[in-house]
Chains A and B, each alone.
Chain A
């Protein structure tokens, strides 16, 4: 596992987000960057404000769904975009920080809004190279 990164996965009607990291927490952070990439270019979002988010779930996969859904909710109600994330996972609890700024259509090239994260193609697992993958399809 050389580096943390994210990617978008093709899906018929919607789109998949995948985060890769050296740890589970890093994979969750990268999956969140991929979530941003569905909406806009993550690098165009200035990390001006920090929002703290915590969530919990009975297993790692549902924890990823809950984490992404918490971000969808915070972006929707604050009319903000996040571009940088920090995640700490303790057992079934996730403590996250998201940095971003208010949506500015002049600055951010906007794609689609995300309705919610789903259990489709949902996977949180250790890869053969020792790195972590965290992925699922999001409904847009």
Chain B
């Protein structure tokens, strides 16, 4: 991205003053090198979002921002329903409530080493992944509707996991206001056999070890220590979310023109929050959020089954579960006033600071865990929300490394089997049905996750707590 059009406010904060149809400024949080590497499309998209009705304060881009659909991936924007504010399917994304869940194992790297191959095989066998994979349960209409309104709470009632798990999931595992009747039959049909599946692409299941503790006190509160083994699951709402995203993109494109909303880009399709299409989308999207939470809850159960074959009675409690493609109703202070806002986070993680009532009581003193997924060859990070971040970008942070190379280019550059061998020589076991998928996801095709995390930390969006490196990675 060309720097001359940006005004630097601090080392990690860049502003674009309102111009043209922009109603508010656009703000990008990143270092100068990250900004230089960003696609020009991020500039276009973050300023386009600033033109939407009812937007509050600013249109934000996180340090991992890249070219998305209407909204940049790594985009955050909040809207006021009382000021004709809008809701946008593109501002949430196709994979609604895609997110990361991290489990604590109580094991160390030394304990895992002798059984690494066996554990990798067990996880690979027990968790369905990849194109066309089927889950182990199939839902009928009634069960589907219960799942859509109940989320992870529904999954626990079905015997997947425990009530204690729910305390460590955003919204206690169930977002209210889901309306199954707003979810089309096609979306439900697409999901029928996909519960408890990982998906493909950048989704993964990883056994990781803690290689660095940055903040000792917060790490202790999160249950993390040097050398500890954790397990992270990255996936979303599967076919149901994809279908809802697809259908509402078209419906919102029509709704926007009916409501006289001038869209600079068709993909920015949106509808007033207080409109039939806006309300229908909210009801359907919340169903998809619950679907993603239920999906990660079921996968958690399958992970526990696999671990128990080697480590009987191992508990695997949750560190936390965060979603990064959502629109949620939240209260925020704006110019000294409390406002009820519809906060879109597209490829961005909620990162609430210490003391916030939405943070589970056991973690409230230190802030919400922010789980940042990296690549299978580099690292992931655990951060904590800050009070400063609440003012900076409605309590939001980055979500991952972001690609630096297209899938096409990656396929020309690497062979999947070579990537697997290379990672094995560095102690990382890969299990995947798709060598082509592994090549497309090669670590070299991604930006440096450490630079992204450092920028988020230095900007004050969140605080770095620990670095995790992969030991086993299951890819779709």
Interface set of A (CB-CB < 8 Å, partner B) = 8-15, 39-40, 57, 62, 65-66, 69, 72-73, 76-77, 79, 103, 105, 109-113, 115-120, 122, 137, 139-140
Q: Knowing A110-B437, A115-B245 touch, does A13 contact B67 (C-beta < 8 A)?
A: yes
* Minimum Cβ distance to chain B for residue A20 (Å): 17
With a CB–CB cut-off of 8 A, which chain A residues contact B189?
77
Complex Cα distance, B134 from A114, in Å, reads 16
Let me know if B69 and A120 touch, CB within 8 A. yes
Contact B69 A139 (CB under 8 A): yes
Within the complex, the shortest CB–CB distance from A94 to chain B, in Å, comes to 15
Q: Looking across the interface, which residue of chain A has its beta carbon closest to that of B432?
A: A110
Contact A113 B436 (CB under 8 A): no
Beta-carbon contact of A112 and B131 below 8 Å? yes
Q: 26 A-B contacts, Cβ less than 8 Å apart? A: A11-B67, A12-B403, A12-B406, A13-B402, A14-B407, A39-B131, A57-B250, A62-B253, A66-B250, A69-B246, A73-B190, A77-B190, A105-B130, A110-B200, A110-B433, A110-B437, A111-B437, A111-B440, A112-B131, A112-B434, A112-B476, A113-B131, A117-B246, A119-B253, A119-B267, A140-B201
Closest to B132 in A: A103
B239 to A: closest C-beta gap in Å:
5
List residues of chain A with CB within 8 A of the CB of B246: 69, 72, 115-117
Instruction: State whether A12 touches B66 (Cβ < 8 A).
Output: yes
Proximity string of chain B (200-238) to chain A, C-beta cutoff 8 Å, 1 when within and 0 when not: 110000000000000000000000000000000000000
Can you name 5 extra interface pairs (CB under 8 A) apart from A39-B131, A103-B132?
A: A12-B66, A12-B403, A13-B402, A103-B131, A113-B199
Query: Given A10-B408, A109-B435, A110-B130, do A65 and B95 touch, yes or no (CB 8 Å)?
Result: no
- In whole Å, how far is B353's beta carbon from the nearest beta carbon of chain A? 29
Chain A residues contacting B253 (CB-CB under 8 Å) are 62, 119
Contact residues of B between 164 and 201, Cβ < 8 Å to A: 186, 189-190, 192-193, 199-201
Choose one: A62, A72, A79; the contact of B250 (CB below 8 Å): A62
The residues of B that contact A105 with a CB separation of less than 8 Å are 130, 132, 433
Q: In the assembly, what is the distance between CA of A121 and CA of B11, in Å?
A: 34
* Contact present for A13 and B199 (CB under 8 Å): no
User: Does A10 lie within 8 Å of B434, measured CB to CB?
Assistant: no
Closest to B411 in A: A111
Complex interface: chain A residues within 8 A of B407 (CB)? 14-15, 111-112, 140
**Contact B409–A10 (Cβ < 8 Å):** yes
Chain A nearest CB, measured from B166 CB (Å): 28
Q: How far is the CB of B395 from chain A (nearest CB, A)?
A: 24
A49 CA to B246 CA, complexed, in Å: 26
Instruction: Tell me, in angstroms, the Cα distance from A117 to B433 when the chains sit together.
Output: 24
Q: Which residues of B contact A115 (CB under 8 A)?
A: 94-95, 242, 245-246
- CB A18 to nearest CB in B, in angstroms, measures 12
- Given that A15-B407, A73-B186, A103-B131 are known contacts, is A112 also in contact with B73, CB under 8 Å in the complex? no
Residues of B within 8 A of A111 (CB): 131, 200, 407, 434, 436-437, 440
CA distance A103 to B476 in the complex (A): 14
- The closest CB in chain B to the CB of A68 belongs to B246
Chain A residues with CB under 8 A of B267: 118-120
From known contacts A110-B130, A115-B245, infer whether A76 and B190 are also in contact, taking CB-CB under 8 Å: yes
Partner of A118, one of B39, B69, B408, B436: B69
* Closest Cβ–Cβ distance, residue A96 to chain B (whole Å): 17
Do residues A118 and B440 form an inter-chain contact, with CB atoms below 8 A? no
Mark each residue of chain B from 424 to 440: 1 if its CB lies under 8 Å from any CB of chain A, else 0: 00000000011111001
The CA of A12 and the CA of B409, in the complex, are separated in Å by 10
How far is B437's CA from A76's CA once the two chains are assembled, in angstroms?
Answer: 18
CB closest residue in chain A, given B186: A73
Would B243 and A73 count as touching, CB distance under 8 A? yes
Chain A residues with Cβ under 8 A from B409's Cβ?
10
Determine whether the beta carbon of B402 is less than 8 Å from that of A109.
no
| Cβ contact of A11, chosen from B93, B269, B406, cutoff 8 A | B406
Give CA–CA (A120, B253) in the complex, Å: 13
Q: How long is the Cα–Cα vector from A21 to B402 in the complex, in angstroms?
A: 34
A11 contacts across to B, CB distance below 8 A: 67, 406
Indicate if the CB atoms of B242 and A119 lie closer than 8 Å: no
C-alpha gap A115/B96 in the complex (Å): 11
0/1 interface trace, chain B 270-306, chain A, CB 8 Å (1 if under):
0000000000000000000000000000000000000
Which residue from A9, A65, A110, A137 sits with its C-beta under 8 Å from B434? A110
Residues of A with C-beta under 8 A to B67 = 11-13
Whether A109 lies near B436 (C-beta < 8 A) is yes
Q: Could you tell me if B437 and A112 are in contact, using CB atoms closer than 8 angstroms?
A: yes
Q: Name the B residues within 8 Å of A109 (CB-CB).
A: 434-436
A87 → chain B closest CB, angstroms: 20
Question: Within 8 Å CB of B92, what residues of A?
Answer: none
Partner of B132, one of A14, A113, A118, A119: A113
> For the complex, what is the distance from the CA of A137 to the CA of B41, rounded to whole Å?
14
Complex contacts, B243 vs chain A, CB 8 Å: 73, 116
When C-beta atoms are compared, the residue in chain B nearest to A14 turns out to be B407
Q: Given A13-B73, A15-B407, A77-B190, A113–B201 Cβ distance below 8 Å?
A: yes
Q: Check if B403 sits within 8 Å of A13, measured CB to CB.
A: yes
| 4 nearest CB pairs, A to B | A10-B406, A103-B132, A115-B242, A116-B246
A112 to chain B, nearest CB (A): 4
Q: Is B100's beta carbon under 8 Å from chain A?
A: no
Interface: B266 (CB within 8 A): yes
